[in-house]
Structure 1
Amino acid sequence: MIATLAPVGALLLSVALLLTGNGLQGTLLPVRANLENFGALSIGVMGSAYYIGFVAGCVLTPKLILRVGHIRLFTAMVAVASVVPLLHAIAVGGPSWWLLRAMTGMCLAGLYLIIESWLNERAAPENRGMIFTTYTTVNFSVITLGQMLMLADDPLRFHLFSLASILVSLAAVPVALTRSPQPAPISSARLSLRNLYRVSPVGVAGVLTVGLANGAFWGMAPAFASQMGLTVPQIAWFMSATVVGGALSQWPFGRLSDRMDRRKTILIACGLACGAALLLIFTGFAMPALMIGAAFLFGVFSFPLYALSSAHANDMAKGVDFVAIAGGLLLINGAGSVVGPVIGGIAMDRFGPLGLFGFTAIVHATMTVFTLHRMRQRAAPPQEQKADFVPMPATAPVRPDLDPRADETAGPPERSAAA
């Protein structure tokens, strides 16, 4: 194991630093915005702006790499991403924070792409699974750490913003010192969205559900917890409990889905995620410990849905290139993540903070009904056609070919006109 991970240790350290800093910002900014009386809709727009930037970064980064190369682009994006948290502390206001979050999203997408390109270059078919699993473990672990860094200081002070900036800045050091050669240019193959839906309606609807519900959660949950009266340490535990729940449930749901019609597992997860969202509503005025426990259950049932939906889409692919499918799924998930925080913010403005989980409950309930409908329309794929389940990071990787299943599919991808 050590021999396998040693060549990518520096890259994993960069990922850890980036995600820790980004995880801290993801909770710090909604909490600070709520303390500054931004309003739920404004906070939702801020969450959407991050995902708009992230999707734009996924599209633009391959083209920028061709122009300036991996190292120069990585250095430039780290510089911008490390300055942005400081600008958040200096220019406190809705429109300025929307723009800054879009900049962060674009830079983080580019940085993840570049680091994952190196990881993919160093991964061979025989060790790709180990590298991907380690990457997933690092992802969940450091995002949890980022939440807990909220305990370090008062969000109304400058220190947490400077800490986020320091962490992002330090992420440049391991990559700058790596001896690995620059990876090959990044491809952006994906199926047209219409063909992707024909391949797997449940897979497409599943990743859209994740984008809507989890995008709203990441963008609005810290503000929800703050408005419900949780203290800053309790908010950190609330967010961390959700991430830990999602990390612990990946493999159990994956193993279950490998042994039965994967749509049944998606059905179970969506139904229970809806129940967990309703439980958060009912415990909203109870003890903080009960809210944190309900948040843990929400993570348990909602976070595995992306991996389950992706695996089901791959089951139905019948030889279509996995990377092309995964690229399309990421685009759909990104679109949902852009819309979700805005709708969540509107729901909180209209119905109070509990409206956030009312929205996520409706999204998961709709997916439950749709999955039931599709199970009556199409038979499950034969067991021998099913792809292996692979757990996904808390933030899905933007390099689909890093997934070990990319080695198992063949055939040229069908490119959309936009690819």
Structure 2
Amino acid sequence: MKAVLSSVGALLISAAILLAGGGLMSTLIAVRAQIEGFPVEAIGFMTSAYFAGFIAGCFATPYLVKRVGHVRVFAALSSIIAAATLTHAIFVNVPIWILLRVLAGFSFAGLYMLIESWINEQAPNEKRGQVLSLYRMVDLGAVTAGQFMLTLSDPSNFVLFSLVAILICIAIFPISLSAAKAPIAVTQTSLNLRKLINTSPLAVAGAFAVGMANGAFWGVAPVFVQQLGHPIIMVSTFMSVTIFSGAILQWPAGYLSDKIGRRIVLILASIGAAGAGVFLWQFGPVSQSMLLIGAALYGVFAMQVFGMSAAHANDFAEPHEFVAISGGLLLIYGIGSVIGPSTAPFVMSQYGPSALFAYTACVHALLCIYAVMRVVIRRVPDQTGDYVSIPRPRALNLILRSDPRIMLKRKK
């Protein structure tokens, strides 16, 4: 472990600082927008704008890296985020915030892609599992810490925006001074969505459903907690419980899918996520205890769907198709994440804040029905690859480089 830390320690420090800043920023935007009286529809549209920028960033970053290199791109994107974050506190209006969220999504996509590819490149094949497990621990801890930073100051003033900018700027320092060799530039590949749908329509449906449901969750769940009348500390706790419960079930869900099949676990996860949505819809407003129980249930089930969908698609993919298929799934997820956060707020406006989870329950129920149909229509492949847990889809590069088939290919 000492050798592993010596090779990726500085990169993990940068990742932790970056993830903490990103975790704080996403929740802070929703909370501050609610305080400013922005319509919930506008708050949802800001999240859609973020994911639209994120999609663009995933495609643009490789070209930027090819032109000027990893470190310069990392510094440039970090400066954009820092400037955009501070601008939120200066110009408090919906149109400018939407534009700033596009810039933030674009920049965060590039930063996640750069730092995750760097970590994977430094990990020796025989230690890659340890490195990825360590990275996911850093991911979980940093994002959770970011949620609780929301309580350090009043969200209605500029202090927390300044804190995010400071964290993003500090994240440049370890990676800029690291002696680690820059990773190979991410290569581009053509995305054939028609072929992806033919290869695994269930995986496409799963990725889209995750975008529709979880995209809405990340965007307006803090508003849901606020509109129930809870203090800011409860917003942080609710989001953290969801993140943590989703992370700890990644490995058990993957192990189970290796034993009984991806589609069965995907169906069970969809049923559980729909049930958790109904629970939060009906009982979330009752008490803080019921709200946190619902958050844990939602995290346990809903956060498994994307990883299981990606694994199911990979089981049907040839090694040379994997990059295109994984890229297509990320694109489908992004499209869902643009649509979902703009749709859920209209449901909340009509039927109350807790209707957010009536919406997510409907999305997961429809996915479950479709998954059952696919079980009847199509048999599973004779051989399946090992499950690779994906707590939250962010950068395609991490998914690609951590896949066992890619590792085996590298060893050869």
Q: Which runs of 5+ in 2 are unaligned?
A: none
Letter in 1 for 2:94: G
| CA RMSD of superposed structures (Å) | 1.6
Residue 114 of structure 1, CA deviation = 1.4
* Runs of at least 4 residues off by over 6 Å: none
Residue in 1 aligned with 2:321? 321
For 2:403 and 2:130, locate their aligned partners in 1 and report how far apart those are by CA, in whole Å.
Answer: 9
What SS is found at the alignment partner of 1:126?
A: helix
1:278 paired to 2:268: no
CA contact (8 A) 1:85 1:162 kept: yes
Change in 2 beyond 3 A, CA 1:80/1:409: same
For 1:183 and 1:43, locate their aligned partners in 2 and report how far apart those are by CA, in whole Å.
Answer: 37
CA contact (8 A) 1:388 1:405 kept: yes
CA contact (8 A) 1:79 1:169 kept: yes
Residue in 1 aligned with 2:58? 58
Matches within 5 A, 1:10-409: 10-382=10-382, 385-399=383-397, 400-407=399-406
Letter in 2 for 1:53: G
For 2:219 and 2:405, locate their aligned partners in 1 and report how far apart those are by CA, in whole Å.
Answer: 31
For 1:397 and 1:62, locate their aligned partners in 2 and report how far apart those are by CA, in whole Å.
Answer: 12
Deviates more, 1:245-254 or 1:114-123: 114-123
For 2:63 and 2:318, locate their aligned partners in 1 and report how far apart those are by CA, in whole Å.
Answer: 31
Change in 2 beyond 3 A, CA 1:43/1:153: same
CA contact (8 A) 2:326 2:396 kept: no
Change in 2 beyond 3 A, CA 1:397/1:134: farther
For 1:107 and 1:408, locate their aligned partners in 2 and report how far apart those are by CA, in whole Å.
Answer: 28
For 1:265 and 1:54, locate their aligned partners in 2 and report how far apart those are by CA, in whole Å.
Answer: 29
For 1:189 and 1:314, locate their aligned partners in 2 and report how far apart those are by CA, in whole Å.
Answer: 17
Change in 2 beyond 3 A, CA 1:191/1:124: farther
Larger helix proportion, structure 1 or 2? Answer: 2
- When the two structures are superposed, what TM-score results if normalisation uses the length of structure 2? 0.96
For 1:410 and 1:381, locate their aligned partners in 2 and report how far apart those are by CA, in whole Å.
Answer: 21
* Percent identity between the two aligned chains: 43
Residue 153 of structure 1, CA deviation = 1.4
For 1:320 and 1:374, locate their aligned partners in 2 and report how far apart those are by CA, in whole Å.
Answer: 25
Q: Which runs of 5+ in 1 are unaligned?
A: 412-419
For 2:58 and 2:269, locate their aligned partners in 1 and report how far apart those are by CA, in whole Å.
Answer: 29
For 2:405 and 2:88, locate their aligned partners in 1 and report how far apart those are by CA, in whole Å.
Answer: 39
CA contact (8 A) 1:322 1:409 kept: no
Letter in 1 for 2:395: P
Question: What is the aligned residue count?
Answer: 409
What SS is found at the alignment partner of 2:125?
A: coil
For 1:302 and 1:190, locate their aligned partners in 2 and report how far apart those are by CA, in whole Å.
Answer: 30
Change in 2 beyond 3 A, CA 1:307/1:257: same
